[in-house]
Amino acid sequence: MLKKTILTLTLILMVLALGAARLNAQQPEFAKAPEVEKALSSYRLDYTLNELDDGKKINTRQYSMHSRPSDWNEIKIGTRVPVEAKQGEFQYLDVGMNIRCRLIDQTDQASLGNNVSLSVHADLSNFALPDQQGQSMRPAIRQMRIEASTIVVLGKPMVVGVVDDPNSKHQYQLEVTVTKLR
């Protein structure tokens, strides 16, 4: 008797489960919720670092990354340089470019139009020229940092920061173009 009851209940549950699956399959597909749509958005960020000497562009470097809103993303390129802190003890310094950024999608806010909010932290370090490092036998490392938060118009290049080299007439301009992919 107990076996028949268990078998009957199992069959009833299977029939109910199949019926529910069919009902769900026949339901019209609803539009995705705005939170889901926003989570699926993806952007490409194209950074350009322009180096100018007395106002004339002498070097340009390009960096690109893909990003989703609210995620922190990073590009890091350079060299790890050993520096002898004490006799026989070495520490390593990262020399190069590090860009860390975060987007906040603003396209759903009518007052901001087709824009995104961008926070960017950019660190550029390189070796000073021999005539800029003085009498030291160890290489001097120059560092420049740009930290910015702004609203960026999609598809339009925007300068997010400019720094001057205090030892020369060099200037560095960091520009970003944000493109919505999806």
End-to-end CA distance of the chain: 60
How far apart, in whole angstroms, are the C-alpha atoms of residue 130 and residue 132?
5
pLDDT above 90: residue 52: yes
- The structural domain count of the chain equals 1
Residue 33's pLDDT is 47
DSSP state of 129: P
How confident is the model over 10-28, as a mean pLDDT?
A: 53
How confident is the model over 158-179, as a mean pLDDT?
A: 91
How confident is the model over 8-32, as a mean pLDDT?
A: 52
Residue percentage of the chain with pLDDT more than 70: 68
How confident is the model over 123-132, as a mean pLDDT?
A: 77
User: In sequence order, what E strands does 87-155 have?
Assistant: 89-105, 115-127, 141-153
How confident is the model over 123-149, as a mean pLDDT?
A: 79
**Considering the domain boundaries, does residue 26 fall inside one?**
no
**Considering the domain boundaries, does residue 22 fall inside one?**
no
- Please tell me the least confidently modeled range out of 50-54, 80-84, 93-97, 119-123: 80-84
How far apart, in whole angstroms, are the C-alpha atoms of residue 15 and residue 143?
70
**Considering the domain boundaries, does residue 2 fall inside one?**
no
**Considering the domain boundaries, does residue 15 fall inside one?**
no
Residue 32's pLDDT is 47
- The amino acid at 103: L
Residue 3's pLDDT is 60
**Considering the domain boundaries, does residue 58 fall inside one?**
yes
How far apart, in whole angstroms, are the C-alpha atoms of residue 119 and residue 100?
8
pLDDT above 70: residue 30: no
Residue 83's pLDDT is 83
**Considering the domain boundaries, does residue 103 fall inside one?**
yes
**Considering the domain boundaries, does residue 23 fall inside one?**
no
How confident is the model over 140-152, as a mean pLDDT?
A: 91
pLDDT above 50: residue 145: yes
The boundaries of the domain holding residue 98 are: 34-180
How far apart, in whole angstroms, are the C-alpha atoms of residue 30 and residue 108?
19
H helices of 27-119, where? 34-40
